[in-house]
Structure 1
Amino acid sequence: MRQQSSNIIVGTPGQGLHEITDRVLAWVAQAAIEEGLLTLFVRHTSASLLIQENAAPAARRDLERWVAQIAPESRGYEHDDEGPDDMPAHLRAAITATSLSIPVAGGRPVLGTWQGIYLFEHRRAQHRREIAVHLFGE
């Protein structure tokens, strides 16, 4: 068994789903591990990771609107150190995921036809997000 680990840095322009599938595929390809398990972990409390449809932009927009309704921006939160989008960003990250595990077969992540990997930025301002990647296998 072998393993590889690294970080993928993603600059976000602000809130929303930002597809990182191509970057993950490129990293897995260079790792040269044919069969195994890929783990992605976002090292932030106001961003998350999702596997979501990558064909219809409307699906992503609907998801973004739904999450915003579940954890709306308001002045009613006690934790607002960085502004009105601070606590909602933490809530949005809490109801989504900070890590993903994806099987790898044939040197590629095993994703469905319409599945893409996304960094979900929950803050309005642009950020530099770090995703730890780890691949274990042979």
Structure 2
Amino acid sequence: MAPTTFTDADRALFDRRLYGLITVSPAGARLPAPRPVWFEATPDGDLQLFSLAGSLKVRRLAEDPQATFVVATPPGEPEAWVSVEADATVHDDGGRELADRLTDRYWEDEGKRAESKAIWAAEDLRRIVLRPRRVTRGPAV
């Protein structure tokens, strides 16, 4: 049976200020294309991110509620990555709060934080929760 929970090392990677890459099922004949996102791990063992209510990823997840997600160490560090195959749910609540929290995490500059929070405050945001069904990690040694 494939692991579905995160290790302490996974959580340490998730707690860093790194971009995650989410991939959702494409429409028609398009190929899957990962998109960089801000994210956080939840105490319940899920991952969550936010998006605009009218975004393509939100629309695609409504049609096919599954996604893959990858986070990796940046160049110059020893290779480490976590890949997640997940069931996805889109929530009307919590998007703005999550956006504010992640803005604080990802922007060190106070001016950029304020600018981002003002943008998020004017938008209709959704919270996307990824519940792992398979977790793999590397490098394999």
Higher Cα radius of gyration: 1
TM category, shorter: under 0.3
Q: What TM-score does the superposition give when structure 2 sets the normalisation length?
A: 0.26
Q: What TM-score does the superposition give when structure 1 sets the normalisation length?
A: 0.27
